Chains A and B, each alone.
Chain A
Amino acid sequence: MSVNGQSATGPQESTSPAATGATPSVRRAVIVGGNRIPFARSGGAYTKSSNQDMLTAALDGLIARFGLQDERIGEVAAGAVLKHSRDFNLTREAVLGSALSAETPAYDLQQACATGLETVLGLANKIKLGQIDSAIAGGVDSASDAPIAVSEGLRGVLLDLSRAKTLPQRLQVLSRLRPKDLAPDAPSTGEPRTGLSMGEHQALTTAQWNISRESQDELAFNSHRNLAAAYDAGFFDDLLTPYRGLAKDSNLRADTTLEKLATLKPVFGKGLGAEATMTAGNSTPLTDGASTVLLASEEWAQAHDLPMLATVVDGEAAAVDFVHGKDGLLMAPAFAVPRLLARNGLTLDDFDFFEIHEAFAGTVLSTLAAWEDEDFGRTRLGLDGAFGSIDRAKLNVNGSSLAAGHPFAATGGRIVASLAKMLQAQGHVNGRPARGLISICAAGGQGVVAILEAA
């Protein structure tokens, strides 16, 4: 068995792919289950809900599902990408408003769209090291209740005003105010260093990898079809708790067709010269929502008579230099996954499920195209050839962000809990635990990926 960070220690004795993460000195971290609220398109059912409201609701649903009332959890970590400055202790405040013991510590974490998955990995590591026995990872985002800041000019005036002591001083400070300072500063999804929106960045990558409109629409269609089928099968009965009258993700279009998707006009990449292929149908909409995942040591789960769905095997973060155009903004997972798999002695053939976050259909397809590209494999990944390809039948089998929507920090928790349930249902494959790969791209040219195995 290889040890984290020590894959270069020679050939393995075992011929079967190595299950890693468990060494004599490090115990296992298991996923007990999860809960999220249905995701709502921005401006919809959760327009009047704050991040704290939604995170508290997701926590309370988790507490009810697993009987955690008044339980002191080892630690709760969650975060939001779009965050009000007053929410500096968002997660702790949500814990205090929930049915958990008020003695449960909590911290906020923020890594753009990878926030949710990173909370899972960080807390799982604490459990593995024996620092805590139980944890709740989570994430929340509201594009509806986004913070609006005052302009830099007005902010400077207001701060100076609070420091001014006399009336003349105050008047002098106020005299600096100009009409343009009164315009609010709304948040944008644009990258600070390039000024380009995420969609425009992806459009560059989509064009670079020659991803066709048809293949993007097909991925979007599959996402909706798979998510709708999962709802019909009752898959989400123990993963989701309704909120504010919503019992299903409001972005889901169970009746969409390839023909309907083909009629949508492109919204990104219209000025690139090449054919614009990215539409509102194959891009995720702005979404509100929250998700949580209950993690534990095996002993804690057993002592509390709780299920163990999957183990958190390993995780990896990567970042790319998109600023100078070396790689696409959302391509970091294309690097993170090969590193993670090499460390664990695995190839893409050793997985039963692939959960690749659908920020845009083009993101998923560009990543897969890069892995299948010989030149990319040799020059960028340092391999002998292409990294490999995946069996598309194993990709996002219960739908992903294109259908469910993507409340940035909440996506990680959605994927982890769903995948853990799929892995448990699958049980063992060829004498080894069923295995799943999670890949999430994030703003700032980052990506976080992880391996889960059936417990």
Chain B
Amino acid sequence: MTDTYTRLVSQGLGKDLAKRLGLPVPAVLRRYTPGQPLVTGPVLVQGSTPGADELAATLLSWNLDVRRHAVPREKLGAIILVLDGLATPEDLERPVLSAAASLRDLGPGARFITVSRPAAEAGDPAEAAARQGVDGFVRSLAKELRAGATANGIVLADDVQTTSPSALGALRFFLSGRSAFVDGQFLTVSSANGTLPADSDRPLAGKVAVVTGAARGIGAAIARTLHRDGATLVLVDIPAAGDHLAAVANEVHGTALQLDISRADAGQRILEHTLQRHGHLDILVHNAGITRDKLLANMDHARWNAVLDINIAAQLRINDALLASDHFRGAPRIVSVASTSGIAGNRGQTNYAASKGGVMGMVRATAPLLAARGGTINAVAPGFIETEMTARIPFAVREVGRRLNALQQGGLPSDVAEAIAFLASDAAGGINGDILRVCGQNLVGA
């Protein structure tokens, strides 16, 4: 499960050798641990709009080392490019090329983050062109950055300020080690909802979270991350995985609920257990999922149905049960695990990709229902993640899958968990119906 190659080429002789041979040299990513500084160095805020000024002032109030103009040869922790006033594609030139002059000063694990407006809300074609241009720009720059540095963007609805809670929440997520394996992606802030946490190391304090498929892999990592962030946990998995589930539950001081989520009454059982033990249910993470890979020509009903039922139909049924309950109120959160297979497709995974595509459709359509009760629903789409499941892929295929992204390595289960923890937090209250890829920017399809 460990990426031996990355370890080998990250230092000493191996690093030297890989460079000489022209082999990929994946960086050891900067990952979050509590108490860690938000960024690794000074933050350069570029852009001349009022939104840029306000944002810079807020960053200063966080005691960050903020620069409005580049200091030559000073190593930077991040560049924030505020592009919230673009009217025409020509408006891109000055800020973009000004930032470009500082790219070589970005340190290892640094961040490049744009703040812009959605093309769909533009007043005229030129404005839409400028706004959409940011999308292509960020995705290309992400592929140019090295040494674990990433480029991502925040898209703010026209009526949302650069200093709204979720604009700042998304900014903190992208700046921090929590977004280590998120690269070339955008988070869309659609409302001014949300609140920043009192304690940024325990943003989920007081929350009760349910995680399905929590016995191992990504699910277990989600449990550990939500626990670290302060949540109280109810962990769900099939009865046959109960021993692994119990071990995770005891590690994170949660309760184990052995339950097959494909049962018709699964939502009700989750509600009953959670309300009896904890009195409220604030966060639901739909992580449970299965694969039954087969080329479509060889697909049978059992494989197709099992995947569709567990990966999407069960989520729909459980959501219905929760939304029908009076106890899923007060800014509730649902976060689903989708997959880049559902976006870009994957040979042999027509059933899985259909189910994960279904998850994304469900998330977008359920967003208004959650908004009506002050809540949100979002999805995270993992790419190649180092798990027991991917460890079983044949070596050569695995090695290709692992390297074919901008960060030249597979992600860790905790990288997916960090994105979920962010979307489940109060700080993400203005992000609803969004899909965030945690894929190191897969080079194909996404």
Q: Which residues of A contact B (CB under 8 A)?
A: 57, 60-61, 63-67, 69-70, 99, 234, 236-238, 240-243, 247, 305-307
Contact = CB atoms under 8 A, between A and B. Distances in A.
A237 B240 CA distance: 9
B239 A64 contact: no
A63 B249 CA distance: 9
Contact of B239 (A57, A242, A305, A306): A242
3 closest Cβ pairs, A-B complex = A64-B246, A64-B249, A64-B256
B259 A64 contact: no
A234 B243 contact: no
Interface in B216-268: 239-243, 245-247, 249-250, 253-260, 263
Contacts of B95: none
B277 A305 contact: yes
Contacts of A60: 246-247, 250
Given A234-B260, A234-B263, A67 B243 contact: no
Contacts of B253: 67, 69-70
A64 B255 contact: yes
Contacts of A237: 239, 258-260
B61 interface: no
A234 B262 CA distance: 12
Contacts of B277: 67, 305-306
A116 B277 CA distance: 27
B279 interface: yes
Contact of B242 (A61, A234, A306, A307): A61
Interface residues of B, number: 23
Nearest to A65: B256
A243 B240 CA distance: 9
B278 interface: yes
A70 B260 CA distance: 28
Contacts of A63: 246, 250
Contacts of A306: 276-277
19 contacts: A61-B242, A64-B247, A64-B249, A64-B256, A65-B246, A66-B255, A67-B253, A69-B250, A99-B250, A234-B260, A236-B239, A237-B239, A237-B259, A237-B260, A241-B242, A241-B246, A243-B243, A247-B239, A305-B277
Interface of B: 239-243, 245-247, 249-250, 253-260, 263, 276-279
B241 A242 contact: yes
B218 to A, nearest CB: 19
Do most interface residues of chain B lie in helix, strand or loop, or is the interface mixed?
A: helix
Given A238-B258, A242-B241, A305 B278 contact: yes
A69 B253 CA distance: 6
User: Among the interface residues A69, A306, A307, which one has the most CB atoms of the partner chain B within 10 A?
Assistant: A69
Contacts of A238: 257-258
Given A60-B247, A64-B245, 11 more contacts: A61-B242, A61-B243, A61-B246, A64-B256, A65-B256, A66-B255, A67-B277, A69-B250, A242-B240, A247-B242, A305-B277
Contacts of B246: 60-61, 63-65, 241
A331 to B, nearest CB: 38
User: Among the interface residues A67, A234, A236, which one has the most CB atoms of the partner chain B within 10 A?
Assistant: A67
A243 to B, nearest CB: 6
A118 B198 CA distance: 51
A16 to B, nearest CB: 30
Nearest to A241: B242
User: Among the interface residues A57, A60, A64, A306, which one has the most CB atoms of the partner chain B within 10 A?
Assistant: A64
Contacts of B256: 61, 64-65, 241
A243 B257 CA distance: 16
Contacts of B239: 234, 236-237, 240, 242, 247
User: Among the interface residues A57, A237, A306, A307, which one has the most CB atoms of the partner chain B within 10 A?
Assistant: A237
A307 B269 CA distance: 14
B263 A305 contact: no
Contacts of A67: 249, 253-255, 277
